[in-house]
Structure 1
């Protein structure tokens, strides 16, 4: 077989069922090989950034490797935003990029870039395969690197002439992900430190999700009455209605929830890199004793020097921690912090705006197994502050990438066709990947897109008003009818202004099972659940 056919055989061996792309002349042989492979569905997107977001959302929802293809330099750089998102979100992804023929390399050939140099700072690994005989070795390695340790994106450049060459003795085997475990000494040290605690907490991150340890985390927390907080945009790592859940560490986290961490004396951080957002600009965890468990050696000690640092798969560690012996003395404190969380995370009985009405409707109408994706923007602060997530129900970009919500929802729906999938976007972010609505229509992928239209880049406007009151520049947007645009794409759409209208529109969207856009007209003066335009302008003297 030729190299392109070998690539498709590798995809099959890794149980790849979907490949996302914008077609490119530089990798036509791979497209031709996929034409004959009925077990893999090709999803042709409208923009490489959208295709990369789809692959990233698909990977998160399926717990498999996301695969995206793009053409030479112009397509490759368009896909960079999704690659960066996968890197910061620790999402396994393999990116197959076309490249100019070897004879043209180094001459600034048509659309040529140095792929390895360009993506080395962004991807987990970047490689150019310039010998067809090494393709099985290097592509297998790419899938292994993407999935093992801390998962991430791997970029593989494929010179066009290599794809036509014959490959001998092609054999592929599915990657088996190793699961390192803590040793007995590690477990004993953790047991001793937790037993000395009076106010311990667990900070749970995405490593819990990737290791499929959500249920094990719940059993561990319940056995020892340990309060659990979720790291940034990992809300669904622990059921939010559980009496041991005490909050989310993200953007705009309320002061009362941050105080839970400040009061803690021992912190067990597991499966989290303790990012800037999770640690509130690295200001938390300055006095607490820290136990840091992560599958990646390079994560431990980067932001904080732990008292105990353990390299381990999250599920393996938690399974062994189920067997330690503790005598919890902190139950009253946990109940107090849970009551604090409930107090600050409950919607007002009388809803103050359509955003709060929308969250109320989602909470009551969405089936428990539904998946929510979201873009970057202030609209998400209502979701993060008030929505009660269940397990395996949330997909959001820790990278804060705009344009993520819709394409990630498409990927998630393909991974879980029988689960409702809803994306939330602002008017700024939605416009960045609105073209992927046509992709959803063309492939009949019934996602529901809720678009909050306040005719501005709301997050930047908030900071602009806080720091430079009334000096507005660059953040105003036009009055666009997203509902009308959606109808032109062939999707269903509704434009609403009240909570009652949203409830009716959302009920219809759930029943219609078609790509649908619900445009929610929101008050530009309400910047977040806790800040108005007037308050922002008065905040700087």
Structure 2
């Protein structure tokens, strides 16, 4: 078998459905082999960075390894931002790059550079294939490493002369992974700590979504009655409709759920990833007891030194912990002082929960224009179903979405909060729509981030994907501008001009709307959801003055 054909057979054995990318001269053998596959579809992107973002979101939503492809040199360098983003957001991804002949790699030659060295700090593993017979092992290893916790990116480099070699080998078959769980002693210790606590809280993160543990965690929260909160990338693990869920942490002093976390004496962190939100922000005194529950051991951090670590399968672990808590309940004697402390803590948590809900709902009837961020997000939530998907780009709108957008199920609000690259949402929406063709997909973008990958509108039009892009317009890089004003009293180098977004959308073959009043937005968005095969772009002016609230400390509403 030709090596490039064997490579594709190995991809088929891994159940690869889509490969996102741009072909090049050094990948021609491979792309021709892909074209002959009966199960793999190649999605031509218009920029390699966008191809990686598409593979990233596809991987998140399907829990499979997303695959992207680029040629050598500039094709490989263009992939790096999207690959780094997937790796830091813990998305399973395989990046494939072409390469010059092995005989030229030791010297200067056209577009030749060392991609393995370049991808090393932004992937879990990277390798250059030098022999056709190594392909089955190398491909299996790349997929295995990408899918292992914590999930992330891998990279393979395929020289053009290796792609033309012959091999008698066949792909390796996939095997089921190892399931590990907690010991009896760690369960006993965690149960005693939980049952002796006065103000425990549950902090859920991205690992809960990656491990499909939402249902068991909801049962755990209901059993204990503990208040809970999530990181940006943990939205939907526990529904925002839960009476004891306080929403999203991660916006520092304007973050009202953070007050509850600071009041807690025991933090039960499940799938929590330090890359999203530093524990120094909620455990600055280093006095909290922490129970770390995740598929991997805890990162080393001065402000995150768990008293108990439980590493293993989350569904198995939480189920065993619930049984252990029930078993030891009768052994714990709660004195009158502790009962008073527990009652007081619950009253404080109820007050914070009330405050969080009020801040989500206070502008739901506000018709002022430019539209307030809270009102816009409320209207989007009102139009979409609970299982539709919202994808946030990076900017001030990301912070508003994290706090205000009510999320009821995992993987229905996708936020990049590890690497946080602008330009993520539009290509991400394409990956989401391919992964979930029956759901509506809305990309929320600032006018800065939207234009960073606007070329992918052509990809969406060509694929007849009815994604909806909502562009928040203020002609400014909002987060940077706001932080400059708060610290220095003025903003510099953040303002720009925008195109006519309606004409821009139409020039790509998409449908464009320019909303000029707040009451018009809901109507236009509902019309956009009726599109079956054409992308829709909705531009609307946003009240950017509200952004200062994201970074200022404020008192509770009385």
SS in structure 2 at match of 1:95: strand
CA-based RMSD? 2.1
Equivalent residue pairs, number: 532
> Cα gap change, 1:10/1:55 in structure 2, threshold over 3 Å: closer, same or farther?
same
Question: Given the alignment of the two structures, is residue 467 of structure 1 paired with residue 487 of structure 2, yes or no?
Answer: yes
Instruction: Provide the residue aligned with 1:137 in structure 2.
Output: 137
Give the TM-score normalised by the residue count of structure 2: 0.91
Residue 473 of structure 1 deviates from its aligned partner by 2.5
SS in structure 1 at match of 2:247: strand
Task: Spell out, residue by residue over 1:302-359, the C-alpha distance to the aligned partner (whole angstroms, 9 max, x if none).
Answer: 7621111222122221121121225596473454443233233333354255133322
Instruction: Provide the residue aligned with 2:113 in structure 1.
Output: 113
Residue 260 of structure 1 deviates from its aligned partner by 0.3
Question: Given the alignment of the two structures, is residue 453 of structure 1 paired with residue 473 of structure 2, yes or no?
Answer: yes
> Cα gap change, 1:445/1:284 in structure 2, threshold over 3 Å: closer, same or farther?
farther
> Cα gap change, 1:276/1:149 in structure 2, threshold over 3 Å: closer, same or farther?
closer
SS in structure 2 at match of 1:107: coil
- Give ranges in structure 1 of 5+ residues lacking alignment: 536-541
Q: Are 2:179 and 2:313, in contact at CA under 8 Å, matched by a contact in 1?
A: yes
Q: 2:452 aligns with which of 428, 432, 438?
A: 432
Instruction: Provide the residue aligned with 2:502 in structure 1.
Output: 483
Any residues of structure 2 matched to 1:170-181 within 5 Å, and which?
Answer: 170-181=170-181
Q: Are 2:136 and 2:169, in contact at CA under 8 Å, matched by a contact in 1?
A: no
- Deviation >6 Å, runs of 4+: none
How far, CA to CA, are the matches of 1:301 and 1:525 in structure 2?
Answer: 36
Instruction: Provide the residue aligned with 2:556 in structure 1.
Output: none
Q: Which has the higher helix share?
A: 2
Instruction: Provide the residue aligned with 1:494 in structure 2.
Output: 513
Q: Are 2:390 and 2:444, in contact at CA under 8 Å, matched by a contact in 1?
A: yes
Instruction: Provide the residue aligned with 2:436 in structure 1.
Output: 416
How far, CA to CA, are the matches of 1:174 and 1:147 in structure 2?
Answer: 12
Q: Are 1:494 and 1:505, in contact at CA under 8 Å, matched by a contact in 2?
A: yes
> Cα gap change, 1:207/1:521 in structure 2, threshold over 3 Å: closer, same or farther?
same
> Cα gap change, 1:105/1:298 in structure 2, threshold over 3 Å: closer, same or farther?
farther
Question: Given the alignment of the two structures, is residue 382 of structure 1 paired with residue 382 of structure 2, yes or no?
Answer: no
> Cα gap change, 1:80/1:396 in structure 2, threshold over 3 Å: closer, same or farther?
same
The answer to which of 61-70 and 296-305 deviates more is 296-305
Q: Are 1:238 and 1:390, in contact at CA under 8 Å, matched by a contact in 2?
A: yes
Instruction: Provide the residue aligned with 1:308 in structure 2.
Output: 308
Task: Spell out, residue by residue over 1:404-461, the C-alpha distance to the aligned partner (whole angstroms, 9 max, x if none).
Answer: 0111111011000001100000011000000001000001111100011111111111
How far, CA to CA, are the matches of 1:301 and 1:468 in structure 2?
Answer: 31
Residue 394 of structure 1 deviates from its aligned partner by 1.2
Instruction: Provide the residue aligned with 1:18 in structure 2.
Output: 18
How far, CA to CA, are the matches of 1:220 and 1:132 in structure 2?
Answer: 50
Q: Are 2:249 and 2:255, in contact at CA under 8 Å, matched by a contact in 1?
A: no
Residue 252 of structure 1 deviates from its aligned partner by 5.2
How far, CA to CA, are the matches of 1:290 and 1:94 in structure 2?
Answer: 34
SS in structure 2 at match of 1:388: coil
How far, CA to CA, are the matches of 2:391 and 2:95 in structure 1?
Answer: 22
Residue 530 of structure 1 deviates from its aligned partner by 5.2
Residue 277 of structure 1 deviates from its aligned partner by 2.5
SS in structure 2 at match of 1:120: helix
SS in structure 2 at match of 1:237: coil
The answer to which of 393-402 and 174-183 deviates more is 174-183
Q: Are 1:18 and 1:43, in contact at CA under 8 Å, matched by a contact in 2?
A: yes
How far, CA to CA, are the matches of 1:303 and 1:23 in structure 2?
Answer: 46
Question: Given the alignment of the two structures, is residue 518 of structure 1 paired with residue 533 of structure 2, yes or no?
Answer: no
> Cα gap change, 1:78/1:207 in structure 2, threshold over 3 Å: closer, same or farther?
same
Residue 76 of structure 1 deviates from its aligned partner by 1.1
Residue 278 of structure 1 deviates from its aligned partner by 5.1
How far, CA to CA, are the matches of 1:263 and 1:525 in structure 2?
Answer: 31
Q: Are 2:232 and 2:276, in contact at CA under 8 Å, matched by a contact in 1?
A: no
Question: Given the alignment of the two structures, is residue 155 of structure 1 paired with residue 155 of structure 2, yes or no?
Answer: yes
Instruction: Provide the residue aligned with 1:368 in structure 2.
Output: 386
SS in structure 1 at match of 2:103: helix
Instruction: Provide the residue aligned with 1:357 in structure 2.
Output: 375
How far, CA to CA, are the matches of 1:375 and 1:173 in structure 2?
Answer: 37
How far, CA to CA, are the matches of 2:398 and 2:115 in structure 1?
Answer: 34
How far, CA to CA, are the matches of 2:284 and 2:384 in structure 1?
Answer: 34
> Cα gap change, 1:349/1:25 in structure 2, threshold over 3 Å: closer, same or farther?
closer
Task: Spell out, residue by residue over 1:22-72, the C-alpha distance to the aligned partner (whole angstroms, 9 max, x if none).
Answer: 111111111111111121111100000000000001111111111001111
Question: Given the alignment of the two structures, is residue 347 of structure 1 paired with residue 362 of structure 2, yes or no?
Answer: yes
Task: Spell out, residue by residue over 1:235-274, the C-alpha distance to the aligned partner (whole angstroms, 9 max, x if none).
Answer: 1221111112112112356343211011100011111222
